[in-house]
Structure 1
Amino acid sequence: MKFLESSEMDAFAQTLTTGAIDCVIDFKMETYSSKMVTSEKKLWKENDKSVMWCERQPLGSYEEVVMSASPSVGHNHRLRHLSERSCSGGSDTDVDDYCIKDSISRKRLYDLTQVLNCSFPDHDFSNTSSEAFAFVNYNDMSRIVDSKMETVVRDYAVRREELWGLIEDAIVPKDCEIYSFKSQFEDDPFTEDGCMWAIAFIFYNKPLKRFVLLTVRCLSGRLDNTSEVFPDFSEDEDETQQK
């Protein structure tokens, strides 16, 4: 998996960081090729032989992702899970669709964890459960991101079009599988001290052989401002004692 540099994405991330309101925003929008590098091929072959890897792994709850991440959705508003069968019919296609969208292949799970490993090299997501991921549709995903960002980023209404334009150019969302990631409360950057909330989504476009990772962490700004609140008087004290 190779990181694909984008000066446009880097510049946009910087504008969001400088526009943060009463917090520190750690925003990532990164593109990766899905083609395995040599080390990944070796690791995948080792996992492929493991009896612990079932053919398919269960995914997490889509409704739980949307409800927990977006307070604007009321408790009485029921969202249709991507894996629910359509009320318009009960064909075999519906049954197959139900099974596929409630689970994930072991290869796809490996790919998703590798994207996180590449983006956060100081952490290891290799043993992340498949239930930490869930399918989401583009409309709900974009609404979640917008609702979070508009509360912590100055003039986000102006910047949002640029954000989704960059996503469109990089990955073509309508052709993607989109996964949310929910921390399992282990040692990861989404649960560390000072992280007030975090959201993470991974886009996969099979024809383009490409992933895009979109993560936002809202960090408390108190630690960064400690020096301003409590200035360092040690040097002044030393000079007074010498006099």
Structure 2
Amino acid sequence: RGIILKRVSREGQPTFLPIHFTTSRTTIIVLSFWMKFLEISDFETISRGLSFEAQDCRVSGKCELYTTKAAGVDKKLYKQLERHLEARMQETLALARSLSPDDTSKNIAKSPFGPLDLISSRRTFVYLVATLNASHPDHDFSILQPFDFRKERNLKIVMNTFNTTLFNLGRGKQLQAMWDLIDHHVELLNCDIYSYYPDGDSDPHGGDGLIWSATYFFFNKHLKRVLYLSLRGLSKNATHEDEESVDGDNWGAQYSEEDMVGVMEV
């Protein structure tokens, strides 16, 4: 996943340092504090509706909204952190190029976030990692690499995939209401969409009887918002923390037709 740099210690023994296109754990953790969680009742309702008992598994879902916008004294500290991040990334890229220029150039160009020598691409990657850290504070995601994510090019396919999963689990009603609520807050057509399919080591719930999982990020750069949407299938034999659930078919019941965003054409 990274380029291995060989360094000779004072004792003459070689040590190996992994060179990744990531930043330090401290930087990720600090950035997590700027991924401010927006407490919105719509998403609390959706999250409860995504947690239920299915026939063959226990389903647990999350729908959370975060903002990347810093204000006041936070803004000044955030700018300092961005400069620190930029310096670290440039040093890493320069070292990687010196060791393996051809491979590094290919990896930079093929990143799901765009060319990694652009700060905007690296910043998006860090936002997603920081979102994961903010949503799962007991798990460290700083080891993730840009290629652990995938850029989704088609909103309709993402929606259909998510809908089909829920439909097959017996929760097929009012899904349009769910997407309308999400669209109202993040403007889905203006979002960059990324998916994340972790392995057992990097999944915060990998040891909790995890059967399958699907995780999406909807990033609206203009609104400075990241929507985190995840769905997991867990073994009924595993021990889990109690989670409140509601009837997912009632997601849109409390909203009038005028309150809802119209059916999107994608």
Q: Is 1:14 paired with 2:58? A: no
Task: Please state how far the C-alpha of 1:106 moved relative to its aligned partner.
Answer: 1.0
2:158 pairs with one of 141, 153, 165: 141
Q: 1:186 to 1:44 in 2, by over 3 A?
A: farther
Task: Please state how far the C-alpha of 1:53 moved relative to its aligned partner.
Answer: 4.9
TM-score normalised by the chain length of structure 1: 0.66
Task: Please state how far the C-alpha of 1:127 moved relative to its aligned partner.
Answer: 2.5
Q: Is 1:59 paired with 2:111? A: yes
CA distance in structure 1 between the partners assigned to 2:174 and 2:210 by the alignment: 23
CA distance in structure 2 between the partners assigned to 1:170 and 1:5 by the alignment: 12
Task: Please state how far the C-alpha of 1:199 moved relative to its aligned partner.
Answer: 0.4
Q: How many residues align?
A: 185
1:158 maps to what in 2? 173
Q: Is 1:49 paired with 2:87? A: yes
Q: Retained in 2: the 8 A contact 1:57–1:130?
A: no
Q: Retained in 1: the 8 A contact 2:208–2:239?
A: no
Task: Please state how far the C-alpha of 1:221 moved relative to its aligned partner.
Answer: 1.0
1:69 maps to what in 2? none
Q: Retained in 2: the 8 A contact 1:17–1:26?
A: yes
TM-score normalised by the chain length of structure 2: 0.61
Query: Which one is further off, 174-183 or 185-194?
Result: 185-194
Unaligned runs of 5+ in 2: 1-34, 95-104, 241-266
Task: Please state how far the C-alpha of 1:33 moved relative to its aligned partner.
Answer: 0.6
Task: Please state how far the C-alpha of 1:191 moved relative to its aligned partner.
Answer: 2.9
CA distance in structure 2 between the partners assigned to 1:214 and 1:111 by the alignment: 15
Q: Retained in 2: the 8 A contact 1:178–1:203?
A: yes
CA distance in structure 1 between the partners assigned to 2:128 and 2:215 by the alignment: 11
Rg comparison, structure with higher value: 1
2:144 maps to what in 1? 128
Task: Please state how far the C-alpha of 1:26 moved relative to its aligned partner.
Answer: 1.4
CA distance in structure 1 between the partners assigned to 2:135 and 2:163 by the alignment: 22
Matches for 1:46-125 after TM superposition, within 5 Å: 46-50=84-88, 51-53=91-93, 56=108, 58-59=110-111, 105-125=121-141
1:192 maps to what in 2? 207
Q: Retained in 1: the 8 A contact 2:50–2:231?
A: no
Q: Secondary structure at the match of 2:185?
A: helix
Task: Please state how far the C-alpha of 1:46 moved relative to its aligned partner.
Answer: 3.3
1:74 maps to what in 2? none
CA deviations over 1:131-174 (Å, ceiling 9, x no partner): 0111112011112111212222x3x2213122211211121111
Alignment RMSD, CA only? 2.9
AA matched with 1:6? I
CA distance in structure 2 between the partners assigned to 1:26 and 1:10 by the alignment: 13
Percent of aligned positions with the same letter in both sequences? Answer: 28
CA distance in structure 1 between the partners assigned to 2:199 and 2:181 by the alignment: 29
